[in-house]
Amino acid sequence: MRRISFWIATFVLCWVAANWAHGAELRIPQNATAGQSLTIGAGAGGTLYLVGPGQVIKRKVQGGEDVQISGDELRNAGRWIAIVRGGGGDQSQVFWVRPGKAENVNFLARPSRVPVNKPGVISGVAFVFDKSQNLVLDPTKVNFSLSVGSAHAEHTATSSNGVAWVTSSSAPKAGAAQFVASLPDVQVRRVIEQVASDPCNLKMKVIQREKGKVTVETDPVRDCTGNAVPDGTIVTFTQTDSTGRSVVDARIKKGIARAQLPAEPNARISVASGVVLGNEIRLGGGQ
């Protein structure tokens, strides 16, 4: 009976001691998440320091009490160290704070201006963040959509290490394309200006001959997919005749380029824009 009492007393003492020791330990949950509240058992009490990426939190704690850290305070994900000083000894413990759920997207769309009908020229890169701007490393589905006019293309990419990306071709139709990266609750819009490509089938004709001058004019200048080449584009008219060569770098205005050249007999007039050649006409003869 004595022996039994001895063992029971020993067990109770051990249990009390273990319980007391456990109460003096620093206890931190292993699933801390940025932006969410956190409860820390500060053991014997003293001053609790939480040192994280770009942030330090300090609390006075009584022995045996738990400390509540609010979600607004615990903003930064990454490696943190909890330190308790005083209250019978210093303790420290490393713990990790994970990013919260994906709530923000930063979206890089390149380029801002691109010729139409070019394969694989548009790239979109989305960086997924939580509400505290921590990069969300867990795979997250990001939806990309590119639309100009009635043409619409959509693609879903899963982020890897917080980054999701997509490449796309430019549409055959010129215009301001809306390039959108979206999460369920948020979307970011960029504009990709899709512009006409090089002129195609450049043609001109004589529209007037008077007072020693001949006026030549192009047909509406369009690229190979039918988009109007923007106003201001240079169209070069070159006339070769017996007096030499005359050149006018005309600008497209309202879709048409026009130039006045000296009216000389047997003149040959050609037209070009950039590296694209157009037709040639002869004055005084057939085209």
Partner 1 sequence: MGRILAIIFAIFTVALVAAGAIHKSSTATASTPEAAVQSLLADAKARDWQGAYSYVAKASNADLQNFQRDIQGRDASLRTYSSIDSFQTRVLRQNDDEGLVRTDVKYSTAVGPFYDTRDLRVVREGGNWKVVWPVQKEQTVPPQVIPVNYLRWDIIWRGANDDWGAQDVESPHVRILSMHPTERDNSVILMGEVVNEDTVPAFVSVGATLVGKNGQDLAEETSFDKTSHVLLPKEVSPYRVDFPGIKLADIKSARMKPDSMLVPASADPVIGVLHQRVEQDAKGHTVLRGELLNESGQTVNIPHVLATFYDNSGQVIWVSDGYVDRALQPQVPQPFAVDLRDELASQVHTYRVTVNQYSLNRQE
Residues that bind partner 1 in the complex, under the rule CB under 8 A? 106-113, 127, 188, 190, 195-196, 198-199, 229-236, 238, 243-251, 253, 259-262, 273-275
In degrees and rounded to multiples of 5, residue 43 shows phi and psi of 65, -125
CB nearer to partner 1: pick between 133 and 169: 133
CB nearer to partner 1: pick between 29 and 274: 274
Find the shortest distance in angstroms from Cβ 21 to partner 1. Answer: 50
Q: Which residue has the tokens 């939190």?
A: 57
CB nearer to partner 1: pick between 58 and 113: 113
CB nearer to partner 1: pick between 5 and 242: 242
For residue 5, count other CB atoms closer than 10 A to its CB. Answer: 9
For residue 83, count other CB atoms closer than 10 A to its CB. Answer: 16
CB 126 within 8 A of CB 159: yes
CB nearer to partner 1: pick between 82 and 223: 223
Strands 113-115 vs 186-195: parallel, antiparallel or unpaired = parallel
Query: For the chain, what is the radius of gyration of the CA atoms?
Result: 37
In degrees and rounded to multiples of 5, residue 68 shows phi and psi of -100, 125
CB nearer to partner 1: pick between 80 and 107: 107
Find the shortest distance in angstroms from Cβ 125 to partner 1. Answer: 9
Find the shortest distance in angstroms from Cβ 188 to partner 1. Answer: 7
Find the shortest distance in angstroms from Cβ 273 to partner 1. Answer: 5
Find the shortest distance in angstroms from Cβ 96 to partner 1. Answer: 27
Here the tokens at position 244 are 């030499």
Nearest to 265 by CA among 283, 253, 250, 278: 283
Find the shortest distance in angstroms from Cβ 195 to partner 1. Answer: 4
Nearest to 27 by CA among 38, 37, 41, 39: 41
Find the shortest distance in angstroms from Cβ 93 to partner 1. Answer: 35
The Cα 123–Cα 107 span in angstroms is 10
| Residues in a beta bridge with 209 | 214
Count of CA atoms in the C-beta half-sphere (13 A) of 76: 12
CB nearer to partner 1: pick between 253 and 282: 253
Name, in order, each residue with C-beta under 8 angstroms of 45's C-beta and a sequence gap of 6 or more. Answer: 61, 62, 63, 64, 65, 84, 86, 87
CB nearer to partner 1: pick between 65 and 231: 231
First to last CA, the chain: 128
The Cα 166–Cα 120 span in angstroms is 10
Find the shortest distance in angstroms from Cβ 245 to partner 1. Answer: 4
